[in-house]
Amino acid sequence: MIVASIVLAVLAVALAWPVPARLSHAQWTARAPGTALVVWQSIALTGGLSMIGSLLLFGLSAYGDSPFPALGDLVSETLDGRVPDGATIFQIGSLTFAVLLAGHLVLNLAATFIRTERQRRRHLDLVALLSDPVPGEPRTRRLDHPAPVAYCLPGAFRSVTVLSEGLLELLDRNELRAVIEHERAHLQQQHALVLLSFRSWGNALPWFPIAHLAEIAVEALVEFIADDKARDVVDGRQLASAIAIIGSSGAPTGPLDADSPAGDLRVDTRVATTRIKRLVDGPPPLSSSVRLAIRTAAAALVITPAAVLLTLMVVA
């Protein structure tokens, strides 16, 4: 199991910095944002599984050569208050850290979800109180505020798109339709949950620089995805015009963070500029065969820790 532990450790290190750092600067991601998002998710999931799996296998090596029998011995001997002969402090510490790390990640995800859901419910209640329905636009509310703002509020049983009075005054009919379709794309594709998972990762590992890098990249990708979805319904130039108008007004332009409403009007200037270029004169999307190959590689990456474990069981 030592060899398998080393293999997973090498994979975890690769996915902790060099691979995501390279992906964050890749040019193809803007041409296939949905595929790039799948890759980021596979990196996050595989990296976590590899890190925890490496620690577990190294610790379990004190109990035998096969993981599941060793796990059974660990449970029985722990209940008896015994430690196997030859077990080192490093192996015991590795097991302890693996359990603590897994628990920390899961509990942080749960806490982030609960906190975010409470904030969204309160926000939905405030929106219902302070805004009016937009005629002809289901689940869309008008907020009496001069700043040009648009965002969506996802919810388990109710979701709403919020448009400010300032936005309605700035945009023409086509531009407004483009913004609404963009926001609805966020709701339909559950982008808030995607952002929440990466925000949870960053909160759980604030000392881990790649977590923040991944969060920034994913925020941009969900905007690209929503832009492309809106472009299926409206002219992309209309959406680009809306982004440019709102940006020139001095209002924040881009997605709100995972603890806030998911929307399109709070991204930094660089991302907003990239969005406009994509919509107006962007490169063609990646071919379906290339996207399929990348997604297949991402799926293979996710099953790698399980494949290592299965190989270990067969060999043992």
Q: Nearest 5 degrees, angle CA 5-CA 52-CA 207? A: 120
**Can you tell me the distance from the alpha carbon of 305 to that of 269, in angstroms, rounded to the nearest whole number?**
39
Residue 237: its pLDDT value, please?
96
**Can you tell me the distance from the alpha carbon of 294 to that of 300, in angstroms, rounded to the nearest whole number?**
10
Each residue's pLDDT tens digit in the chain (316 positions)? 899 999 999 999 999 999 999 999 999 999 999 999 999 999 999 999 999 999 999 999 999 888 988 889 888 888 888 888 788 999 999 999 999 999 999 999 999 999 999 999 999 999 999 999 999 999 999 999 998 989 999 987 789 999 999 999 999 999 999 999 999 999 999 999 999 999 999 999 988 878 989 999 999 999 999 999 999 999 999 999 999 998 887 654 444 444 455 544 444 688 899 999 999 999 999 999 999 999 999 999 999 999 999 998 888 6
25 phi and psi angles, rounded to 5 deg: -105, 5
Give me the count of residues in the chain. 316
Residue 134: its pLDDT value, please?
95
Which spans in 31-86 are helix H? 33-60, 67-79
Hey, is 152 helix, strand or coil?
strand
Q: What is the 3-state secondary structure (H, E, C) of 95-115?
A: HHHHHHHHHHHHHHHHHHHHH
Cβ-contact 83, 77 below 8 angstroms: yes
Q: What is the DSSP string of 262-309?
A: EESTT--HHHHHHHHHHHHHPPPPPPHHHHHHHHHHHHHHHHHHHHHH
Residue 268: its pLDDT value, please?
63
CA distance to 33, 185, 187, per residue, from 159 (Å): 24, 12, 7
Tokens of 169: 């005054």
Residue 251: its pLDDT value, please?
56
**Can you tell me the distance from the alpha carbon of 258 to that of 222, in angstroms, rounded to the nearest whole number?**
12
Residue 86: its pLDDT value, please?
80
